[in-house]
Amino acid sequence: MLGARGGWQALRRCASLPRAQRAVRLRVREALRAQEPAGGVKVQGWVRSVRSQKEVLFLHINDGSSLENLQVVADPSLENRDLTFGSAVEVQGKLVKSPHRMQDMELKAETIHVVGSCDTWSFPLKMKERHPLEYIRQFPHLRCRSNTLSSLLRIRSEATAAIHSFFQDNGYVHIHTPIITSNDCEGAGELFQIETSHEARESAEKTHFFNVPAFLTVSGQLHLEVMAGAFTHVFTFGPTFRAENSQSRRHLAEFYMVEAELSFTESLQDIMQVMEDLFKTATNTVLSKCPHDVGLFHKYIAPAQKTKDRLEQMLKNKFVTISYNEAVEILKQASQTFTFKPEWGCDLRTEHEKYLVKHCGEVPVFVINYPYNLKPFYMRDNEDEPQHTVAAVDLLVPGIGELCGGSLREERLPFLESRLQRYLDLRKFGSVPHGGFGMGFERYLQCILGADNIKDVIPFPRFSHSCLL
């Protein structure tokens, strides 16, 4: 997260200078990784603990650059009443080798300046307490200062970067697909409609800002298909919206989707290969970039689920592929009783998805070739008999169920006739076999971290009856 332009070059230059020189500002992460002791160092951050002994004052400072705190060792004379848990401080001094096993470096303070005090009585986070996720969710403006949420947000940032890199490295053009749209991609769930606040106040016979009713996007697929007809490989990574009235731990009104579209596909396998590569590449990057942050989740947030071992299995083995037909057979032969009876022609429910994943050995499972009547118009007709299917694929993962959904798109004009004119145009002027998929980014984070509630893997959750901040 901290690059070549960090403070280290400056520090090396400075280490040999006389002390009176201006101190070099270091992030906590840089200080912890320093190879050599150095004087004239300045670290800024928030106090995570204060321990005052007779001979020495210990502080732990965190500035969000890492999960680990920097230990500050000071003379007790530097203590002052504003130096409390949560206060913001600037410490100047000498970076020295630490005698403690837990850290390589510590800061021997020469001065401690309290930049901003913190009323610990009214501050909802308490020193050394492991607050439940439900509790800190009430404080959208302060929960990022807890260990769990700050780890989560660093992981989210690294995962975002890793996903962008994956696509850029593989020759995909990134497209900002629009948020406001005049069509409703696939009739997927309830939509949010947009009006100017002026329109919203009026009632009958309105003229719309965009002349037509406008909605928040539910998917960038149509816009990506446009672009795949020019760039061959494209992706988008942005917010999508559902107005579903749900308080469940699986749904949000605003969430992030990674979507890709590929022209000149030869089979569904092309799409599935990208899904698998994306998952494995991004996850390996996250694991190597923030092992401590991921470790916190695997150790404290999802220990019973054995997320760590399961994740290693997922990364090591090839994902499994079964057809929808096979899936229904497996479910029918299951000893388990389902709330919804499995039957050919019916959609798979979460209980079914979880069973299939378990049946296949707790690894990710591609289910392919769904019934024609279950899926939207744009999916490619397999023209098979007796059971009519389309070239659709869902990726099911342990603990979550559906993580990605994709399909080959119907590129043949006659199959699409009587549909949207612009969608048809794309098939008229140099149409090519293509396909794509979407991956729910929050579900991805839940999957690799074992986080149970989707509200804990997004900075500011929006759901029915709640739009805090």
Residue 333: which H helix or E strand, with range? none
Smallest gap from Cβ 291 to a copy of itself, in A, equals 17
Residue 385: φ, ψ to 5°? -140, 155
Which one of 91, 222, 322, 395 is in contact with a copy of itself (CB under 8 A)?
Answer: 222
Angle at CA 432, nearest 5°, toward 427 and 436? 100
323-342: which residues touch a copy of itself (CB under 8 A)? none
Nearer to a copy of itself, 6 or 376 (CB): 6
How far, in Å, CA of 336 to CA of 332, rounded? 9
Which one of 291, 345, 361, 459 is in contact with a copy of itself (CB under 8 A)?
Answer: 459
Which one of 61, 71, 109, 223 is in contact with a copy of itself (CB under 8 A)?
Answer: 223
Using alpha carbons, select from 56, 6, 14 the residue that is nearest to residue 37.
14
158-197: which residues touch a copy of itself (CB under 8 A)? 160-161, 164, 168-171, 173-183, 190-197
Q: What is the DSSP letter of 317?
A: S
Structure tokens at 189: 């769930």
348-377: which residues touch a copy of itself (CB under 8 A)? none
Smallest gap from Cβ 76 to a copy of itself, in A, equals 22
Using alpha carbons, select from 104, 74, 68 the residue that is nearest to residue 89.
74
Smallest gap from Cβ 309 to a copy of itself, in A, equals 29
Residue 353: φ, ψ to 5°? -60, -45
Structure tokens at 270: 């092309």
Q: How far apart are the first and last CA of the chain?
A: 27
398-417: which residues touch a copy of itself (CB under 8 A)? 411
16-35: which residues touch a copy of itself (CB under 8 A)? 25, 27, 29
Amino acid of residue 345: G
Contact range with a copy of itself by CB under 8 A, out of 71-79, 105-113, 391-399, 452-460: 452-460
Structure tokens at 357: 């994943």
Smallest gap from Cβ 100 to a copy of itself, in A, equals 24
Please tell me whether residue 418 binds a copy of itself under the rule CB under 8 A. Answer: no
Smallest gap from Cβ 2 to a copy of itself, in A, equals 4
297-326: which residues touch a copy of itself (CB under 8 A)? none
Nearest-10 crossing angle of helices 441-449, 147-169: 120
Which one of 209, 300, 338, 340 is in contact with a copy of itself (CB under 8 A)?
Answer: 209
Question: Three-state SS for 253?
Answer: coil
- 8 Å CB contact between 330 and 322: yes
Nearer to a copy of itself, 426 or 454 (CB): 426
Which one of 69, 71, 87, 307 is in contact with a copy of itself (CB under 8 A)?
Answer: 87
Nearer to a copy of itself, 117 or 350 (CB): 117
The number of angstroms, rounded, from the C-alpha of 358 to the middle of its chain's C-alpha atoms is: 24
Smallest gap from Cβ 228 to a copy of itself, in A, equals 9
Cα-based torsion angle of the residue sequence 92, 95, 96, 98 in order, rounded to the nearest 10 degrees: 90
How many residues in the chain?
469
Nearer to a copy of itself, 220 or 398 (CB): 220
Residue 150: φ, ψ to 5°? -70, -35
Residue 24: φ, ψ to 5°? -90, 125
The number of angstroms, rounded, from the C-alpha of 282 to the middle of its chain's C-alpha atoms is: 11
Nearer to a copy of itself, 181 or 382 (CB): 181
Amino acid of residue 45: G
Smallest gap from Cβ 414 to a copy of itself, in A, equals 13
Nearer to a copy of itself, 198 or 316 (CB): 198
The contacts of residue 9 (CB under 8 Å, 6+ apart) are none
Smallest gap from Cβ 268 to a copy of itself, in A, equals 17
422-441: which residues touch a copy of itself (CB under 8 A)? 422, 425-433
Smallest gap from Cβ 178 to a copy of itself, in A, equals 4
